[in-house]
Structure 1
Amino acid sequence: MPRTRLEHANITVSDLTRTVSWMENVFGWKVRWEGPSIHNGSTVHIGAPDSYLALYQSPNALATPPDSYNTRAALNHLAVVVDDLDATEERVASAGFTPRSHADYEPGRRFYFEDHDGIEYEVVQY
């Protein structure tokens, strides 16, 4: 079977500038592309050379999302692999987020946090 990988996910955020800033500072990601997007919105692609997140900001007011774990096709969390979990956790806290749900089980250590928009991230070190 051919090798496959996830190239990107597309998520809606309330403030592109704020989200890009913390992702650059916490994960060290770089902006790959930015510009106008569907429905008169704006998009920024941020990440690594071979994978990224497409961040979309609508010009319209955003609805409050439902509980993702009880909604079909909802996003529960995004997972990011890092080389140094402890240093990343320090940057997460410095960005104003609260690390929680720490765990250490095979195949790696991890913690979770939510960003300004309530998007949950899992950070793992293998």
Structure 2
Amino acid sequence: MARLEHVNITVADPDATAAVLCELFDWKVRWSGPGMTTGRTVHVGDETSYLALFSYGNPDELRQDSYRTRGALNHIAVVVDDLDATEARVKAAGFRPGEVHDYEPGRRFYFVEANGIEIEVVDYS
């Protein structure tokens, strides 16, 4: 058996991004500290998986179209138990969720967080 443990993404401010994700998804900071060779990293998620939020210290702005650039990140999907409550938290945090789509296998919406990363929020119940 194999499972995904983490994904490492570059953000402007790992601590600020972690705070928002913890608020939206009820996640916890699992670890934080200096990056392996430079910058700062914050691990945020639950006991089984997490996002490693990394900042080199002076990240460049997004310069590519992730859906057209091979190897680029298209979006991160987060499964929730209550799509409507999560959508309300996303709005309260100042983000603009897209339209809710209801098709197999679940209901979902997408929004773009402060670093330009698209997040899909899905409810399979």
TM-score by length of 2: 0.94
2:10–2:59 contact (8 Å) kept in structure 1: no
C-alpha contact 1:39 1:58 (8 A) present in aligned 2 = no
Write the letter of the residue equivalent to 1:91. Answer: R
Q: Which runs of 4+ in 1 moved over 4 A?
A: none
Q: How does 1:5-24 map to 2 (within 5 A)?
A: 5-24=3-22
CA distance in 1, matches of 2:92, 2:29: 21
How many pairs does the alignment contain? 124
Q: CA deviation at 1:4?
A: 2.1
Q: What letter corresponds to residue 3 of structure 2 in structure 1?
A: R
* Percent of pairs with identical residues: 58
- Which amino acid in structure 2 is aligned with residue 116 of structure 1? A
| CA apart distance, 1:72 | 0.6
CA contact (8 A) 1:81 1:124 kept: yes
Counterpart Cα distance in 2 of 1:102 and 1:108? 10
- Unpaired runs of 5+ residues, structure 1, are none
TM-score (norm 1): 0.94
Structure 2 residue runs without a partner (length 5+): none
Give, in angstroms, the shift of residue 24 of structure 1.
1.1
Distance apart, 1:15 and its partner CA: 1.2
What's the CA shift string for 1:38-64, capped at 9, x where partnerless? 341100000000000000011124243
Query: Contact 2:78 / 2:120 at 8 angstroms: preserved in 1?
Result: yes
For residues 65 and 106 of structure 2, what CA distance do their matches in structure 1 show?
Answer: 27
Letter matched to residue 67 of structure 1: D
Alpha-carbon deviation of 1:32? 0.4
